[in-house]
Chains A and B, each alone.
Chain A
């Protein structure tokens, strides 16, 4: 992998050279008078340099992205027939062995002859590929540079050319966001479709039992597993509900207090302090929930004679609510502050008290915005992972009792995907199906929430 940096440095050097010669040629064709040129000489240099670097970089990127899978495919094709006939998971093991041999790592057991041969083939392919990459990238860079160089004339609009290229690069950068979304959709969708070929979608969406423990061998008892996700949805909803019960009143009331009552001094201290809660990583909350809050709730429960699970939904929900307080509060703060002062004046001018003004005028006026904020918070709670992974447990109970342990969609995604994965077992694929559900639900919530908030803002702009 060290060749890539070398190549990059070489490309940089080539681009610099291209810049230098581009500038020089621009001077020459202009007979040394910049006035004769359409653009400043630097733009001609840049023009040549961009032509030299960009296509080469593109080739490099594509090559590196495809190299691994191409070589693997060729190596697999070269393997003896019986090995190719192996199931995909066994084949993967073989490939892993080959890769390990190539990179000089320790291999499990003594490698057999075909594996060794394949590793040799792999290594030679890799060497060829790397050598080829060098040649191709550098020649593309040279060709590009020469092309740009040959275009230099006094009347050549180099600045416009450069700006067009830069504009293109900017557009490309801004589409990364779109590509990300497309990537997310495709990745979860494809694996989900494979999952739904094994497990009917109706069973997944409406089944009441979740136990994804697939047997290691096909002949083992109970190998089917159960993929009814309703307990997960219910658990997610329960924890979200608890979190919202904590976060919405506290967040909203503190936003109201800080924006309508608190003195500038109190506000300047309390607001940033509350926002610290939002900056604390979720894994810290998870640790706090599992080690401090859950035992506390269990102990308080046993004092009251209640039987509380050590990983209760209440603990996870409570801590998640804590985490979301500043989220709700700063969003509502924005919303409340955008209620025009004239409405407050109107209420105060007739003798309303502050609380009457807030409850009867500001709150109704800000309601759409607050609803949007709460929806965003819900989406946040549904997608929150670490707290529930660390504090909510794995038992898929279909219960509404907050003192019992429940599991959530995100917990199951993590459990199913951490550790060794086989990409053809429903167990692994189920995680992607859950991911798809999670993505769709949060996306819908965000979409609606952002729409409401935007409409709300337009109303008072």
Chain B
């Protein structure tokens, strides 16, 4: 303030001092605000970097380089006796046919070493694709079929530009001769990036181009079904008891403190519990989704109980009074009047708990859901792995092609998480009630 009349007033001296300090204080204020803004900015930057790094590494995994082969289905090779028995068809040497078709395309390749390299262009899975094709339609035998088979992961990486063509040959996973073949194949239109269905339909594999998340996904689904089936009723029942019926005494205090503490116990400790109690004492099968579900139930239970109690708390006492006032028993008031009103909140809490369980890895490592399992599990007793564990396993694999698959699996996992949280948010919005 630059008011000359100020000089005459009695607060002048202190006011002048205040005025004198203002520049410094405003600067401090700006700095502080800037710090806050920077903090939020850094947080958001972290998020952006994290998501970008995952997506930019992973989106290519949804496409897979495939190679078009013309395979002569020589009847003598597949089914010399012409019986067309399923067993015979199943056992035939299809990879020989595939190799033959490769040799046909590159007749000039003769040395043993080169041929080996040539066969390596195609994935090991190509023979299985061919077999499935033939078994589905045995009349194809004797004809020449043209089919797309997955290319080897190195070819895939090259096509996606992850392998540097110009680098010294010795450091490259693809040598110059092979490069030549690949270029020729590409020029012939025999190499193309196509949508990677195997990623969604197959189980795990040692070969990146054959590895899919179906097995892990089913494992996760079975695990979560068990978790949901156990933790929702248990959690709601516990919350109802603690919030509505429990007397205030030391025992319920103990339960309460205990639940709050359990919510913050590291998840790996629940894994130790599962290992020592469920496997060693009760003899439940290792690696089974049932076991995973039990462990995750114990882990998510505190979350669900705390959320459900909050939901019950938000139902105004007037509802209970109204029910009690017309002669309902406390149990009836709770079951028929309070719980229905609290249900959306409880469901929201449960979904959030499930989302937590979905992303959980450490306890599953403890109970053996970390083994290499190529088969897709069919039930809660089959050995299985889970999506986050699959991510962990793939992240450990040395092949370059697993990096993009890991990122892609992460994208799928994050998509599921986003979906669950979205449902929770919508549920909350839809049923949100202000009393």
Q: Is A312 an interface residue (CB 8 A)?
A: no
- Given known A-B contacts A178-B258, A283-B392, A384-B266, A170 and B410 have beta carbons under 8 A apart: no
Distance A442 CA – B260 CA, assembled complex (angstroms):
12
Is A288 within 8 A of B417, CB to CB?
Answer: no
- Given known A-B contacts A287-B395, A383-B266, A69 and B36 have beta carbons under 8 A apart: no
Distance A256 CA – B29 CA, assembled complex (angstroms):
13
User: CB-CB contacts of B11-46 with A at 8 A, as 1s and 0s?
Assistant: 000000010000001101101110111111011101
Q: Is B276 an interface residue (CB 8 A)?
A: yes
- Given known A-B contacts A68-B283, A180-B301, A376 and B264 have beta carbons under 8 A apart: yes
Hey, which chain A residues are within 8 Å of B265, CB to CB?
Answer: 184, 383, 439, 442-443, 446
Is A257 within 8 A of B37, CB to CB?
Answer: yes
Q: How far is the CB of A20 from chain B (nearest CB, A)?
A: 21
Is B305 within 8 A of A177, CB to CB?
Answer: yes
Q: Is B127 an interface residue (CB 8 A)?
A: no
Hey, which chain A residues are within 8 Å of B259, CB to CB?
Answer: 177
Distance A428 CA – B324 CA, assembled complex (angstroms):
57
Q: How far is the CB of B379 from chain A (nearest CB, A)?
A: 9
User: CB-CB contacts of A218-243 with B at 8 A, as 1s and 0s?
Assistant: 00000000000000000000000000
Main secondary structure of the interface of A (DSSP, over half): helix
Binds A, one of B99-107, B134-142, B156-164, B356-364: B356-364
Hey, which chain A residues are within 8 Å of B361, CB to CB?
Answer: 281-283, 385-386
Hey, which chain A residues are within 8 Å of B271, CB to CB?
Answer: 417
Distance A446 CA – B302 CA, assembled complex (angstroms):
14
Hey, which chain B residues are within 8 Å of A190, CB to CB?
Answer: 276
User: CB-CB contacts of B214-238 with A at 8 A, as 1s and 0s?
Assistant: 0000000000000000000110011
Q: Is A423 an interface residue (CB 8 A)?
A: yes
Q: Which residue of B lies closest to A70 (CB)?
A: B283
Is B237 within 8 A of A435, CB to CB?
Answer: no
Q: How far is the CB of B414 from chain A (nearest CB, A)?
A: 7
Hey, which chain A residues are within 8 Å of B255, CB to CB?
Answer: 174-175, 177-178
Is A159 within 8 A of B329, CB to CB?
Answer: yes
Hey, which chain B residues are within 8 Å of A262, CB to CB?
Answer: 40
Distance A190 CA – B276 CA, assembled complex (angstroms):
9
Is A292 within 8 A of B47, CB to CB?
Answer: no
Distance A386 CA – B410 CA, assembled complex (angstroms):
14
Hey, which chain A residues are within 8 Å of B360, CB to CB?
Answer: 281
Q: How far is the CB of A74 from chain B (nearest CB, A)?
A: 13
Is A170 within 8 A of B237, CB to CB?
Answer: yes
Q: Is A249 an interface residue (CB 8 A)?
A: yes
Q: Is B242 an interface residue (CB 8 A)?
A: yes
Binds B, one of A83-91, A135-143, A198-206, A321-329: A321-329
Hey, which chain B residues are within 8 Å of A59, CB to CB?
Answer: none
* Contact of B28 (CB < 8 Å), options: A253, A322, A355, A414: A355
Hey, which chain A residues are within 8 Å of B262, CB to CB?
Answer: 177, 180-181
Q: Which residue of A lies closest to B275 (CB)?
A: A417
Q: Is A187 an interface residue (CB 8 A)?
A: yes
Q: Considering the complex, which residues of chain B in the window 306-329 have a beta carbon less than 8 Å from any beta carbon of chain A? A: 329
Q: Is A432 an interface residue (CB 8 A)?
A: yes
Is A274 within 8 A of B44, CB to CB?
Answer: yes
Distance A183 CA – B28 CA, assembled complex (angstroms):
54
Q: How far is the CB of B355 from chain A (nearest CB, A)?
A: 7
Q: Is B83 an interface residue (CB 8 A)?
A: no
Q: How far is the CB of A2 from chain B (nearest CB, A)?
A: 10
Binds B, one of A118-126, A161-169, A209-217, A297-305: A161-169
- Residue of A170, A260, A379, A384 with most chain B CB atoms under a 10 A cut-off: A170
Q: Is B7 an interface residue (CB 8 A)?
A: no
Distance A292 CA – B56 CA, assembled complex (angstroms):
12
Q: How far is the CB of B97 from chain A (nearest CB, A)?
A: 30
Q: Which residue of A lies closest to B391 (CB)?
A: A283
Hey, which chain A residues are within 8 Å of B39, CB to CB?
Answer: 249-254, 257
Is B392 within 8 A of A390, CB to CB?
Answer: yes
Q: How far is the CB of A191 from chain B (nearest CB, A)?
A: 6
Distance A353 CA – B29 CA, assembled complex (angstroms):
7
Is B33 within 8 A of A355, CB to CB?
Answer: yes
Q: Is A173 an interface residue (CB 8 A)?
A: yes
Hey, which chain A residues are within 8 Å of B403, CB to CB?
Answer: 291
Distance A358 CA – B31 CA, assembled complex (angstroms):
13
Q: Is A348 an interface residue (CB 8 A)?
A: no
- Given known A-B contacts A174-B255, A257-B33, A281-B417, A450 and B261 have beta carbons under 8 A apart: yes
User: CB-CB contacts of A248-277 with B at 8 A, as 1s and 0s?
Assistant: 011111101110111000000010011011
Chain B's interface size range is 35 or more
Is A410 within 8 A of B25, CB to CB?
Answer: no
Hey, which chain B residues are within 8 Å of A174, CB to CB?
Answer: 237-238, 241-242, 246, 255
Q: How far is the CB of B226 from chain A (nearest CB, A)?
A: 13
Q: Is B270 an interface residue (CB 8 A)?
A: yes
Q: How far is the CB of A295 from chain B (nearest CB, A)?
A: 11
Q: How far is the CB of B303 from chain A (nearest CB, A)?
A: 12
Q: Which residue of A lies closest to B265 (CB)?
A: A442
Q: Is B365 an interface residue (CB 8 A)?
A: yes
Q: Is B195 an interface residue (CB 8 A)?
A: no
Is A325 within 8 A of B273, CB to CB?
Answer: no
Q: Is A82 an interface residue (CB 8 A)?
A: no
- Given known A-B contacts A274-B40, A288-B53, A386-B361, A279 and B355 have beta carbons under 8 A apart: yes
Q: Which residue of B lies closest to A269 (CB)?
A: B44
Q: Is A354 an interface residue (CB 8 A)?
A: yes
Distance A256 CA – B32 CA, assembled complex (angstroms):
10
Q: How far is the CB of B383 from chain A (nearest CB, A)?
A: 11
Distance A414 CA – B35 CA, assembled complex (angstroms):
39
Distance A252 CA – B361 CA, assembled complex (angstroms):
28
Hey, which chain B residues are within 8 Å of A326, CB to CB?
Answer: 43
Is A386 within 8 A of B392, CB to CB?
Answer: yes
Is A410 within 8 A of B268, CB to CB?
Answer: yes
Distance A376 CA – B46 CA, assembled complex (angstroms):
22
Q: Is B174 an interface residue (CB 8 A)?
A: no
Distance A92 CA – B3 CA, assembled complex (angstroms):
93
Hey, which chain A residues are within 8 Å of B245, CB to CB?
Answer: 167, 170
* Contact of B267 (CB < 8 Å), options: A166, A251, A329, A383: A383
- Given known A-B contacts A170-B245, A281-B388, A385-B267, A291 and B395 have beta carbons under 8 A apart: yes
Q: How far is the CB of A407 from chain B (nearest CB, A)?
A: 14
- Given known A-B contacts A177-B301, A191-B276, A261 and B36 have beta carbons under 8 A apart: yes
Is A65 within 8 A of B238, CB to CB?
Answer: no
Q: Is A147 an interface residue (CB 8 A)?
A: no
Q: How far is the CB of B114 from chain A (nearest CB, A)?
A: 35
Is A288 within 8 A of B331, CB to CB?
Answer: no
Distance A276 CA – B355 CA, assembled complex (angstroms):
12
Hey, which chain A residues are within 8 Å of B47, CB to CB?
Answer: 273-274, 276-277
Hey, which chain A residues are within 8 Å of B281, CB to CB?
Answer: 69
Show 17 residue pairs from A and B whose CB-CB distance is below 8 angstroms, ordered by the A residue.
A69-B283, A72-B283, A167-B245, A174-B241, A174-B242, A184-B272, A187-B273, A254-B43, A279-B417, A282-B359, A284-B359, A288-B53, A325-B43, A385-B266, A386-B392, A447-B257, A450-B260
Tell me the B residues contacting A by CB distance below 8 Å.
18, 25-26, 28-29, 31-33, 35-40, 42-44, 46-47, 49-50, 53-54, 57, 233-234, 237-238, 240-242, 245-246, 254-255, 257-262, 264-273, 275-277, 280-284, 298, 301-302, 305, 329, 331, 355, 358-362, 365-366, 370, 381, 388-389, 391-392, 395-396, 403, 406-407, 410, 413-414, 417, 421
Q: A274-B40, A438-B269, A442-B265 are in contact. List 16 more A-B contacts (CB 8 A).
A: A65-B282, A163-B329, A254-B36, A254-B39, A257-B37, A277-B43, A283-B391, A287-B54, A290-B395, A291-B57, A326-B43, A353-B28, A354-B33, A413-B272, A446-B265, A450-B261
- 6 smallest CB-CB distances across A and B, nearest first, come from A383-B266, A257-B36, A281-B359, A68-B283, A187-B276, A253-B39
